[in-house]
């Protein structure tokens, strides 16, 4: 157990729908990162939050949004889902934010299947 | 912009043989380098990291990687692999001012008896 908790583990939904993925960071970590893992694109960085504030943005679609709450958990919202959004979504956490020396700890992932 | 290239998508090897998984990165500034491992149906786990100091870094399960600045490489090696090393290995880089990691596309290591 890495200490990073992601729910749900599996999610099956239909095109056009909206889903929310949830992440609780490791105790003491203030930064949360979201990654998408798919067969064709590999691991893509989506977005990072630090203590409630957005810190960095990667290849996140406009249909996707995220936030980090005062208790430091984070949610990734995916809307108007398309078949191509089917992927494994990972959350990771770290203590700090701006230093590349931060080590990221990953959760087990949420597998999204869009039918 | 940073990028990471893992030159081999799949590496089959027999048990107890040596293995090298190759990783090259591109960055215009100083970097931090990582190897993560993903076992089937699991999340990513940190295997080893280079932050500063000695260019040769080791993991607790016998893997090692060497940071080579002139060749912009961070290849992962193990002198004798086990069946249990079968997994996908990801090389990642982050630059000094950023916390997020940029990953390579991964190398699937398959160890056969």
Calculate the CA dihedral of residues A32, A38, A44, A47 and round it to 10 degrees: -40
SS3 call for A83 = helix
Contact A101 B51 (CB under 8 A): yes
Taking CA–CA distances from A31, the nearest residue in chain B reads: B99
What pLDDT score does A21 carry? Answer: 98
Please state the rounded mean pLDDT for residues A69-74.
Answer: 96
Of A102-106, B65-69, B74-78, B93-97, highest mean pLDDT:
B74-78
Asked if the Cβ–Cβ distance from A105 to B94 is below 8 Å, we say no
Whether pLDDT at B40 is above 90: no
Cβ distance B96 to A99 less than 8 Å, yes or no, reads yes
Please list every residue in chain A whose beta carbon sits closer than 8 Å to the beta carbon of residue B95: 100
Q: Please state, for a pLDDT cut of 90, what percent of chain B lies above it.
A: 65
Give the residue carrying structure tokens 């956490």.
A93
d(CA B24, CA A92) in angstroms, rounded, equals 24
Note the pLDDT of residue B29. Answer: 73
Q: What is the pLDDT at residue B96?
A: 62
* pLDDT given at position A40: 84
Model confidence at A85: pLDDT above 80: yes
Asked if residue B112 has pLDDT above 80, the reply is yes
- Cβ-count burial B69-104 (b if 16+ within 10 Å, e if not): eeebbbbbebeebeeebbbbbbbbbbbeebbbbbbb
Whether the Cβ atoms of residue A32 and residue A48 lie closer than 8 Å to each other: yes
Q: What is the pLDDT of residue B60?
A: 81
Q: What is the pLDDT of residue B100?
A: 83
- pLDDT mean over A15-25: 98
DSSP helix/strand/coil, A62: coil
Q: Which of A55, A100, A104 sits opposite B96 (nearest CB)?
A: A100
Mean pLDDT for chain B? 91
pLDDT for residue A98 is more than 90: no
For B100, which of A4, A56, A105 is closest by C-beta distance?
A56
**Mean of pLDDT values over B54-82:** 92
Task: Please report residues of B whose CB lies closer than 8 A to that of A58.
Answer: 100
Which chain B residue's Cα is nearest to A96?
B99
Beta carbons within 8 Å of A14's beta carbon, 6+ residues apart: A81, A114, A115
CB-based contact A48 B103, cutoff 8 Å: no
Chain A residue with CA closest to B42: the answer is A108
């Amino acid at each position: 157990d890495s200490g990073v908790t992601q729910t749900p583990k599996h999610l099956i939904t239909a095109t056009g729908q909206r889903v929310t993925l949830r992440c609780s960071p490791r105790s003491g970590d203030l930064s949360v990162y979201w990654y998408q893992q798919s067969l064709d694109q590999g691991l893509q960085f989506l977005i990072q939050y630090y203590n409630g504030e957005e810190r960095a943005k990667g290849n996140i679609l406009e249909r996707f949004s995220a936030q980090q709450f005062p208790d430091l958990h984070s949610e990734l919202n995916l809307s108007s889902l398309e078949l191509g959004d089917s992927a494994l979504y990972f959350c990771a956490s770290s203590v700090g934010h701006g230093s590349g020396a931060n080590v990221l700890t990953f959760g087990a992932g949420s597998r999204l299947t869009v039918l | 912009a940073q990028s990471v290239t893992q030159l081999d998508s799949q590496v089959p090897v027999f048990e107890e043989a040596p293995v090298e998984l190759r990783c090259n990165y591109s960055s215009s500034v100083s970097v931090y380098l990582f190897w993560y491992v993903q076992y089937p149906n699991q999340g990513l786990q940190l295997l080893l990291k280079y932050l500063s100091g000695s260019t040769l870094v080791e993991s607790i399960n016998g893997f090692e990687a060497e940071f080579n600045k002139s060749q912009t490489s961070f290849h992962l090696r193990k002198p004798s692999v086990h069946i249990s090393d079968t997994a996908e290995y990801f090389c990642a880089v982050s630059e000094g001012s950023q916390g997020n990691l940029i990953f390579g596309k991964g190398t699937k290591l398959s160890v056969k008896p």
